[in-house]
Amino acid sequence: MGPNIPSRVALPLLGSNQDSPDPESGVLPVTPRGSDYGAEGARTPDLLGAIQALSQLSYSPARARNITSRSLFSKQHDPVRKSLQTARVGLVVLTLINLFNYLDRWIVAALAESMKHSELRLSDTQLGALMTGFLIVYTLTAPLFGLLGDTRSRNRLLAVGVAIWSLATALAGLARSYAGLFAARAAVGIGEAAYGTISPALLADYFPRQQRGRVFAVFFAAIPIGSALGYIVGGLVDRYFGWRQAFFVAGVPGLVLAAFAWQLYDPPRGVQDAPPAPPAPPGEPAGNPRGAYRILLRNRPYLLTVLGYAAYTFAIGALAFWTPTFLERVRGIPKAHATVQFGAIVVVTGFLGTYLGGWLGDRLLRVTHHAYWWLSGITTLLAAPLTLLALAAPQPPLYWAGIIGAELCLFASTGPINSAIVNVVSPHMRATAVAVSIFTIHILGDVPSPSLVGIISDARSLGEAVLIIPVAVLLSGVIWTYAATRPAAPAAHPC
């Protein structure tokens, strides 16, 4: 190491090509002094902490050696600053897109009662089928975009996907029949499949393994915030302007974000893995789906992670779609209050839970390589009785406390479990692995769960139908806890 380079380097993201790795470990120490994530003095996660985490995320220069820096919105010539700006902009743009992704997805839940009593006269089964139709298309097209994401330009695919789902969201506001509404919502799945499969793989090539829990916590914090904005924006626009106008408000901003996505930098695949990933080996040829699927099926940590995620998604999908209607119909809370109150809870608990889970997962990774599974399994097991309390307790103090506690525990696993998925597979298969995960968790999870709750509700009552949700939460926690007790496969990266 050169004489002028300190032993601990405070480079926030991508490193300079002049830096040298440690001769023993092969990487340069990257934890900045005084960092919120240092051993001396961790901070309580809050909004300021998340912003500071984003600004202080470090990058391993040894792992970034092969990255060709490209400034996105600046003409700076300093390669460190250009690389720093590229990675920061990538995370910010992808997080904003993820926010609108979930706003578009869950705005239907806020509009359900209005559409039910509109000229379309929809049943609960038809309302549940709107989400099911979207998820079926999303699930079936995800493997295609996974393969393309491992071989083609990822930023271009992202931009096209965002534009498609934004246009489809706006078109739902023009629907004059249930068939037209169903088709528009189903088309949203095409665009979201492109984004959902590619963005985690892209982030994994922006940041090293030991930071991915925090990075994915920032990225996935957009899920509760976007979902809550779907409830809040949808509920308020519906109240003052009508449900059709709510779809227009949700769809238009995505077109601007599509233009930003088109300009994102697409780094070499595997550049952030140590040692830097070589070209895809013969066992995992690029663009060979059969070979990739066989490798994933033999990867036990990956399979257990995805199966637990499927049960988790079953519960989350049903909760997200039916909770505003449940609060209005079963608990007697006025519609505007139900959507806004539940949306506010999702924003606060989702942000705190997601950020705290990612931060704690990365800290625990120093103790055990199975930290992400342990954290996800234990918090989900805790969420099961809280979910039952939220749905079964008749007194407002009890069910509101149950909702808050359950949401905190459920969101805590979001960053760690997605980090586990990208960590246990080869860098050259990450988009495919995410695509297979998306296919599985939705086919077994939130494709059937909203419709199943709707069918049971039509046959009996919504209060009884939602009681299947805590069972799915419990099953998810059991699977992830079991995965934490199993040794990692030899070819898998521990997490």
A 10 A CB-CB count for 138 gives: 26
Q: What is the pLDDT of residue 419?
A: 85
Lowest-confidence region among 76-85, 382-391, 455-464: 76-85
Q: What is the pLDDT of residue 320?
A: 82
How confident is the model over 273-314, as pLDDT tens digits? 665 544 454 444 445 667 788 888 889 999 999 999 999 999
Q: What is the pLDDT of residue 147?
A: 83
Between 122 and 272, the more confident residue is 122
Q: What is the pLDDT of residue 338?
A: 80
Residue 339 has pLDDT above 80, yes or no: no
Q: What is the pLDDT of residue 84?
A: 61
Question: How wide is the angle at C-alpha 338 spanned by C-alphas 333 and 340, nearest 5°?
Answer: 145
Percent helix / strand / coil, the chain, rounded to 5: 70, 0, 30
Average pLDDT, the chain: 78
Residue 356 has pLDDT above 80, yes or no: yes
Q: What is the pLDDT of residue 488?
A: 58
Between 256 and 124, the more confident residue is 256
Which token pair is 73?
Answer: 């919105």
d(CA 433, CA 409): 26
Which token pair is 430?
Answer: 């990450």
Task: For domain 82-270+285-485, give the CATH superfamily.
Answer: MFS general substrate transporter like domains (1.20.1250.20)
Residue 28 has pLDDT above 80, yes or no: no
Contact 153, 206 (CB under 8 A): no
How confident is the model over 192-222, as pLDDT tens digits? 888 888 888 888 888 777 777 778 878 888 8
Residue type, 429: M
Query: What average pLDDT score do residues 243-248 get?
Result: 92
How confident is the model over 151-186, as pLDDT tens digits? 888 889 989 989 998 999 999 999 889 999 999 999
How confident is the model over 98-126, as pLDDT tens digits? 899 888 887 888 888 888 888 888 888 88
Say if residue 448 is preceded by a cis peptide, omega within 30 of 0.
no
Lowest-confidence region among 52-61, 194-203, 485-494: 52-61
Contact 324, 109 (CB under 8 A): yes
Structural domain boundaries in the chain: 82-270+285-485
d(CA 288, CA 353): 38
Contact 334, 328 (CB under 8 A): yes
d(CA 23, CA 21): 6
Between helix 469-485 and helix 300-329 the angle, nearest 10°, is: 160
Between 233 and 82, the more confident residue is 233
Specify burial of residue 362 (Cβ count, 10 A radius: 0-12, 13-18, 19+): buried
Q: What is the DSSP string of 150-168?
A: TTS-HHHHHHHHHHHHHHH
d(CA 60, CA 68): 15
Q: What is the pLDDT of residue 78?
A: 53
Query: What average pLDDT score do residues 422-444 get?
Result: 85
Closest by CA position to 383, among listed 308, 462, 454: 308
Residue 408 has pLDDT above 70, yes or no: yes
d(CA 120, CA 118): 5
d(CA 23, CA 26): 6
Residue 257 has pLDDT above 80, yes or no: yes
d(CA 350, CA 227): 10
Lowest-confidence region among 240-249, 389-398, 450-459, 483-492: 483-492
Residue 76 has pLDDT above 90, yes or no: no
Q: Which pLDDT band, with edges at 50, 70 and 90, does 483 fall under?
A: very high
Lowest-confidence region among 78-87, 202-211, 394-403: 78-87
Q: What is the pLDDT of residue 392?
A: 93
Q: What is the pLDDT of residue 118?
A: 85
Q: Which pLDDT band, with edges at 50, 70 and 90, does 470 fall under?
A: very high
Residue 270 has pLDDT above 50, yes or no: yes
Query: What average pLDDT score do residues 67-77 get?
Result: 42
Residue 23 has pLDDT above 80, yes or no: no
Share of the chain above pLDDT 70, in %: 77
- Look-up: residue for tokens 């070209």? 279
Residue type, 233: V
